Chain A
């Protein structure tokens, strides 16, 4: 600063010093923040004490005593709240993961359609994207759920696909596999196939880098992972028995059922997020300088290879960061399961368990911590991927 005012007051002199001033400002800020937190925590403690409550996580080991319709791990009403929480967590992760996969596929399709030189597909994609992203996701969820339970037939009038798959307003019923004793051999072949494919891809890359000779990597890998185990499967005499669903009484028995709540939530989240991803993909591809494509064409690279080797790798760098936040949004939006009764983490530990045990503080802490962890996990994975594909500047 230009001319510091000479002052005899040491406090005033300290204020004019930039370093000291920033320290003072920070101390005041820290004090305010700390006292705010101290204040609300103290209030909570006083309020809890007034009704005789404490903070304790022991309730997690008590009997949950309620049933959950969709549980991918062993669960019954005699399991404890912790297991109920895990069941809910798995359900959240399941719908989030399935949603991310479908949304990505749909989104890339929409992005490409938006850039298509076919007028009709371009307009269809445009209308779809504008409609879907300008309507709240909760509305999509409720609308789809309402459609499924109202428009689909009841179990007795199910849509029947070859007596093995059934669709009705209780969900989509399909056969479930029951693995026989010999099945482990098939499994072993699949694992071996994946290991081989991993090694072979690296090997082929090395050979191509050194000699320029390209193997048909994809074909060979598919053969190793899929075809060979299939062959083994039939040689062993099909060691899977299928438990086919059949209508008994009120509902279908046997097989796997994908419930309407899951379908509605999964489709609504995917359709909604796909509209955003579509725009991101479009922007990403548009951002690639046209000269890149022209250069590739000048080198005589075919159109599909130009797309695969030149445009997409560069576009991905633009696409990945906003894509990450869409994935995060999808995972967080899955908490709207609450509105239609899908038993996710908010409905189990943050809902029924919270209510039955009266442990609001603890349950909400758990729910928030889990969502923060999921967010962190997705960001970490996507950042790792983003760093991997970033342009290496020399």
Chain B
């Protein structure tokens, strides 16, 4: 064999062998790498062939998106016309039409406050953070009014998307601090506090949310002094917050337990007292570890807000359910529920993605 040499630059690079690049190689490596794999691929393609085109036709090609009643819809396709007719109901519930600007304003401010909390490169973040801290109060004032010249709007008029957001945001804002307290309480060396926290957490986690909501909505007045009562939505908010905080506490406890004991010992040896050690050393680390769990709990809380339909509040699902029974739009359960599903999917999937981003950003190399 004679050795062949090329002067640099005289010959172009040869392309790689055709079976290691390009679509053919990709197909071979990812879909048909072995006989079993090939069979699986073919079966999957067949199943997709069965499902996708008909679903596509039903949802897009044969579907009707504009119309007044069921009769305007083409047979054989999805009847999405109800969305246009009921869109305002899905977004605002029964909120008075002339006051809806307040809901819109609250939503815009929520975006601003949320951006400051979630996005650390936001311009003027420090100032907006201060605003975000008091946002829950501002939001509550904008929505229900009754103070400083805003007309009062009863919470029984809340509904649709704004109700879901109200429950979700309130639950998220208040369940985290409460959850931290419960988690610390559960780790406490003081037996009474410890067992109270354990009892509370385990009770809440042991019963379904709807039984708690049922008690809060129909029986709470038994436990209040005769004649007193308070707003139904407020009770729901409290119950949802308590419920989420019990789950939050367990997530954070996991984070606390994952920290090496040396961290606390080091803090003690520096002369930090309990609250300093927790605030400066333990919690920042524990919370960082718990981020995926915390976000999952948020998503769970957000999804659980649909359960309020069981006690008669009308979130998007409740409105959808009422639409199903409307004689003008009979028999549309699939369309209505799919529409609501898309809404929930977008918001929950968004939260999950953000959690991934945060996890990667805060990963300071402890993970190997």
Chain A interface residues (CB < 8 Å from chain B): 22, 25-26, 29-30, 33, 40-41, 43-44, 46-48, 50, 116-121, 124, 130-131, 133-139, 142-143, 146-147, 150-151, 328, 332-333, 335-336, 338-339, 346, 350, 360-361, 364, 367-368, 371-372, 375-376
3 closest Cβ pairs, A-B complex: A146-B333, A119-B30, A134-B348
Our count of residue pairs bridging A and B at CB distance below 8 angstroms stands at 151
Q: Is the CB of B45 within 8 A of A120?
A: yes
- A25, A131, A133, A146: which contacts B324 (Cβ < 8 A)? A146
Q: Is the CB of B223 within 8 A of A143?
A: no
Q: Is the CB of A139 within 8 A of B190?
A: no
- B207, B218, B341: which contacts A143 (Cβ < 8 A)? B341
**Majority secondary structure of chain A interface residues (helix, strand, loop or mixed):** helix
CB distance from A361 to the nearest CB of B (A): 7
CB distance from A282 to the nearest CB of B (A): 14
Question: A323 vs B334: C-alpha distance in the bound complex, in angstroms?
Answer: 31
- A121, A133, A371: which contacts B207 (Cβ < 8 A)? A371
Q: Is the CB of B222 within 8 A of A48?
A: yes
Across the interface, name the chain B residue whose C-beta is closest to A130.
B349
CB distance from A180 to the nearest CB of B (A): 42
CB distance from A346 to the nearest CB of B (A): 7
Question: A150 vs B189: C-alpha distance in the bound complex, in angstroms?
Answer: 58
Mark out the residues of chain B between 194 and 221 whose CB falls within 8 Å of any chain A CB in the assembled complex.
196, 203, 205-211, 214-215, 218-219, 221
Q: Is the CB of B190 within 8 A of A136?
A: no
CB distance from A350 to the nearest CB of B (A): 7
Residues of B within 8 A of A133 (CB): 348
Q: Is the CB of B31 within 8 A of A142?
A: no
Is there a chain A Cβ closer than 8 Å to B317's Cβ? yes
Is there a chain A Cβ closer than 8 Å to B104's Cβ? no
Question: How many chain B residues touch the partner (CB < 8 A)?
Answer: 55
CB distance from B163 to the nearest CB of A (A): 14
Is there a chain A Cβ closer than 8 Å to B299's Cβ? yes
Q: Is the CB of A134 within 8 A of B44?
A: no
- A134-B317 in contact given A43-B222, A121-B40 (Cβ < 8 Å): no
- A371-B299 in contact given A26-B190, A139-B341 (Cβ < 8 Å): no
Question: A142 vs B211: C-alpha distance in the bound complex, in angstroms?
Answer: 19
Question: A22 vs B194: C-alpha distance in the bound complex, in angstroms?
Answer: 12
Q: Is the CB of B40 within 8 A of A135?
A: no
CB distance from B215 to the nearest CB of A (A): 6
- A150-B210 in contact given A47-B221, A135-B348, A338-B310 (Cβ < 8 Å): no
- A30, A119, A333, A368: which contacts B192 (Cβ < 8 A)? A30
- A25, A40, A135, A371: which contacts B208 (Cβ < 8 A)? A371
Stretch from B16-24, B95-103, B176-184, B300-308 that touches the partner:
B300-308
